[in-house]
């Protein structure tokens, strides 16, 4: 079994063979993946060594100390946090070897084609159709529309769920695919947000041909496959590793210390309360990641994501109040197409506006409350009169 000492030895061998000072960034990342030091808990040959997940920190610390480049995880978060674990669990060996390496190195960016205009909170009601291609028993043709797709304008690949059988209840007739975003039938349109930028998109799929070799899991079993993606997504959003005063609480705490003229007793009490809640959430996230060492994420990630959204909105609101009129200033309303969101490097006004989306993306807070109630607390489920009704017979 690979232990910490063995990982340090392997890491030093990598650094000796590929000195960061003289090795190109992409060459180093490829070599790191091939050495099994990308994500050590993955299988050998797929960026890992089958080691305990907790030992990744050993490798990361050695590489950081040596000044080695990382793979810019925020830029490729959808690939790392959502696509990769799903491909690992449900992909064929060929799919794993084709997609995981360029995904981890950042050579290929991923996006997520799940939500639709008529199927957001009720994702299982999605209407994008995938039908067998005429005269081609090995392919599918996809038509439909997806929405709220982060980074679609920068993505090479997408994880996609589509309806392949309208004659069964909505959760059972869905299949999971990998979609080529360079296909001529894929059209990406920007969605301008309240911040002025367009990091989200709507995606139109018209006659998009997907080979059956790009299907993940069995036909009709896409909802079960999607649960792996969604559970990992909520952990990725709400359970990210942060230092003390990391995330949204950091800027407002710094402002409080550096601008004593802004302080009031009421704001002080509220800041103290939010600081404690942010620290509790950070430590709970650490605990959740420890649980991941033993297996796949479960519904507990929904609770982390719920807390993340609520805290971000309350903290950013407090920051705007603390700064007064200055907190409303926002120096860039131009239409931009960022690949990732920068919360801490922007103004308080930006943080306040952008955090409003936190209670929608990655599952609305209302849906996540149901998940926590039913799957974590064991409370009675809400009545669902449509669970045995064929999708084609549902009212829309």
Q: Write the DSSP symbol of residue 313.
A: H
Residue in 234, 215, 196, 192 with CA at minimum distance from that of residue 331 = 196
Show the tokens assigned to 253.
């705490």
CA 288 to CA 290: how far, in whole Å? Answer: 5
Positions marked active-site: 233
Rounded to the nearest 10 degrees, the angle between the axes of helix 25-34 and helix 4-17 is 140
**Can you read off the two tokens belonging to residue 329?**
């200033």
CA nearest 178: which of 148, 217, 120? 217
DSSP state of 383: P
Six token digits for residue 38: 């990308």
Q: What is the rounded distance in angstroms from the CA atom of residue 116 to the CA atom of residue 202? A: 9
Distance CA 255, CA 203 (A): 40
The DSSP result for 222-288, as a single string, is: HHHHHHHHHHHHHHHHHS----TT-TTHHHHHHHHHH-GGG--HHHHHHHHHHHHHHHHHHHHHHHH
């Amino acid at each position: 079994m690979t232990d910490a000492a063995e990982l340090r030895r392997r890491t030093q061998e990598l650094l000796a063979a590929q000195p960061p000072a003289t090795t190109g960034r992409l060459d180093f990342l490829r070599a790191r993946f091939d050495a099994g030091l990308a994500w050590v808990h993955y299988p050998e040959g797929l960026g890992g060594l089958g080691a305990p997940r907790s030992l990744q920190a050993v490798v990361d610390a050695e590489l950081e100390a040596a000044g080695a480049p990382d793979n810019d995880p925020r830029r490729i978060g959808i690939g790392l946090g959502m696509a990769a674990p799903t491909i690992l669990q449900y992909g064929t060996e060929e799919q794993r070897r084709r997609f995981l390496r360029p995904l981890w190195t950042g050579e290929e960016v991923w996006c997520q084609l799940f939500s639709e205009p008529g199927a957001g909170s009720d994702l299982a009601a999605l209407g994008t159709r995938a039908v067998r291609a005429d005269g081609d028993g090995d392919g599918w043709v996809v038509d439909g529309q997806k929405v709220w797709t982060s980074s679609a304008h920068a993505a090479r690949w997408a994880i996609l769920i589509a309806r392949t059988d309208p004659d069964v209840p909505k959760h059972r007739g869905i299949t999971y695919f990998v979609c080529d975003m360079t296909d001529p039938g894929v059209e990406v349109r920007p969605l301008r947000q309240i911040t002025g930028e367009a990091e989200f998109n709507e995606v139109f799929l018209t006659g998009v041909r997907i080979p059956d070799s790009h299907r993940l899991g069995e036909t009709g079993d896409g909802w079960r496959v999607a649960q792996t993606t969604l559970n990992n997504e909520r952990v990725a959003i709400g359970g990210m590793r942060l230092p003390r005063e990391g995330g949204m609480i950091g800027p407002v705490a710094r402002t409080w210390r550096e601008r004593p003229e802004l302080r009031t007793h009421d704001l002080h009490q509220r800041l103290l309360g939010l600081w404690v809640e942010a620290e509790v959430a950070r430590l709970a996230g650490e605990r959740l990641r420890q649980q991941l060492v033993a297996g796949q994420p479960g519904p507990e990630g929904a609770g982390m994501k719920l807390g993340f959204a609520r805290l971000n909105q309350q903290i950013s609101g407090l920051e705007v109040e603390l700064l007064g009129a200055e907190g409303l200033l926002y120096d860039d309303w131009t239409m931009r197409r960022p690949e990732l969101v920068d919360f801490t490097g922007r103004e308080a006004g930006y943080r306040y506006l952008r955090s409003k989306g936190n209670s929608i993306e990655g599952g609305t807070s209302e849906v996540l409350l149901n998940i926590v109630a039913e799957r974590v607390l064991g409370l009675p489920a809400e009545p669902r009169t449509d669970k045995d009704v064929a999708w084609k017979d549902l009212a829309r």
